[in-house]
A and B are shown apart, each in its own frame.
Chain A
């Protein structure tokens, strides 16, 4: 792929000088990120596709006027466009997402958040599971705007601390502190969701057991209500 090793700044300069093919590399570099950001916001593949396409389309239209305020990446600019489009789309929707997990997986997440090494299934396998990723995305989406942004800039946008600070118009020290608070809050959100998923699974099992012993489910339910 031409221009593979060039920075966004160099590609934008080429584009402004009249080489429209430089945008191909920017599209290739950022489409996936913007799609995942939009998926995080909307929790819907079709909406994510529309938002990512519209974001890149608008970027192409306005790139001539774009000025690098910070860093070497156009990601913060694309991030803002995509988030605004997502807000317009999701204004009337509930963001709370219920994720269903096996008991073993829910327990694995809780163990992983305490002792990384002793987890069953192994950490590599646990992290690859689609339902675990969905649960974590729902936890990230539930964070405050600042906490969500700092995590998304760092781990999705792959911005450095300095670039994250510039994109969020804060000092590096403030971003470090915010990142720490965001990680602690995220851990809490994930734990709550994993416990909720476990509880739902356990209740489901008890519901199943009513067919065999109707008395026991009433006792279990009373215990849960107290």
Chain B
């Protein structure tokens, strides 16, 4: 019983922005959900929405991925620029090199 009500409460809570939605608390305490459980959920939600990542960290991460994307794009362009017979012979040579090991 309590499990069902708690789950419903968390479902409704995820749709709300305010840290302490008093109307929801009133509704669910009337439905029999203990205040202690509501409080623990509110504390968990608040703690897990922090700390905010520094903007520099977000930008550094993005930059690293952009560099990877550019590198992959350049590699694709380079391999596309090589003719088909040439790529075929490159693949054959690679195959023999692997076989020698």
User: Chain A residues in contact with chain B, CB under 8 A?
Assistant: 20, 23-24, 27, 31-32, 35-36, 39-40, 45, 48-49, 52-53, 56-57, 60-61, 109, 112-116, 123-124, 127-128, 130, 132-134, 136-137, 140, 151-152, 154-156, 158, 160-161, 176-177, 179-180, 183-184, 186-187, 190
Contact with A along B38-54 (1 / 0, CB 8 A): 11111111111111111
List 15 additional contacts besides A114-B39, A179-B6; criterion CB under 8 Å: A31-B61, A40-B48, A49-B57, A52-B53, A53-B61, A57-B68, A128-B46, A130-B51, A140-B44, A140-B47, A161-B10, A176-B3, A176-B4, A180-B37, A187-B37
A187 touches B7 (CB 8 A): no
Task: Please report the C-alpha to C-alpha distance between residue A36 and residue B64 in the assembled complex, in whole angstroms.
Answer: 20
Q: Which residue of B lies closest to A111 (CB)?
A: B39
Q: For A53, list chain B residues within 8 Å (CB).
A: 57, 60-61, 64
Q: How far is the CB of B53 from chain A (nearest CB, A)?
A: 4
Task: Please report the C-alpha to C-alpha distance between residue A160 and residue B54 in the assembled complex, in whole angstroms.
Answer: 27
The one of A20, A116, A128, A152 in contact with B48, judged by C-beta atoms closer than 8 angstroms, is: A152
User: Chain B residues in contact with chain A, CB under 8 A?
Assistant: 2-4, 6-7, 10-11, 14, 19-20, 25, 35-54, 57-58, 60-62, 64-65, 68-69, 73
- Binding site of A, secondary structure by majority: helix, strand, loop or mixed? helix
Known: A60-B65, A127-B19, A190-B40. A180 touches B2 (CB 8 A): yes
Task: Please report the C-alpha to C-alpha distance between residue A24 and residue B50 in the assembled complex, in whole angstroms.
Answer: 22
B42 touches A130 (CB 8 A): no
Q: Which residue of A lies closest to B46 (CB)?
A: A127
Q: How far is the CB of B41 from chain A (nearest CB, A)?
A: 6
Q: Which residue of B lies closest to A35 (CB)?
A: B53
Q: For B11, list chain A residues within 8 Å (CB).
A: 160-161
What are 20 of the A-B contact pairs (CB < 8 Å)?
Answer: A20-B73, A23-B69, A36-B49, A40-B48, A49-B54, A56-B65, A57-B68, A113-B39, A132-B46, A133-B51, A136-B47, A161-B11, A176-B7, A177-B3, A179-B3, A180-B6, A180-B7, A180-B37, A183-B41, A190-B43
